[in-house]
């Protein structure tokens, strides 16, 4: 179990093992969520971008860069 002391300014220093488990560093934001039994759940508000992989499904039909550029040119010619 890790412990931290509260300063007169209301600040704490997270022990290294807690920072490691939360994968947080200086400047990161933490969320403190009160639970039903008056305890607090601490979560890192920042997350690794790689956790988003797979959220948006791959398109059914792939489009080449050339096809995208052609569509942009065609649209630009109409205005």
Considering only residues 79 and 44, tell me which one the structure prediction assigns the higher pLDDT. Answer: 44
pLDDT at residue 20, as a whole number? 92
* Mean pLDDT on 8-32: 92
Among the CATH numbers 3.40.190.290, 3.40.50.920, 2.10.260.10, 2.60.120.200, which is that of 1-46?
2.10.260.10
Sorted by where each begins, the domain ranges of the chain are 1-46
* Mean pLDDT on 42-61: 82
Sign of CA dihedral 69, 74, 75, 79: positive
Closest to 24 (Cα-Cα) out of 43, 40, 41, 10: 43
Q: Please tell me the least confidently modeled range out of 15-19, 46-50, 62-66.
A: 46-50
pLDDT at residue 47, as a whole number? 67
């Amino acid at each position: 179990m890790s412990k931290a002391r509260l300063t007169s300014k209301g600040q704490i220093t997270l022990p290294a093992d807690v920072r490691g488990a939360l994968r947080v560093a200086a400047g990161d934001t933490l969320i403190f969520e009160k639970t039903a039994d008056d305890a607090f759940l601490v979560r890192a508000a920042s997350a690794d971008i790689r956790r988003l992989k797979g959220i948006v499904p791959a398109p059914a039909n792939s489009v080449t860069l050339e096809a995208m550029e052609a569509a942009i040119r065609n649209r630009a010619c109409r205005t």
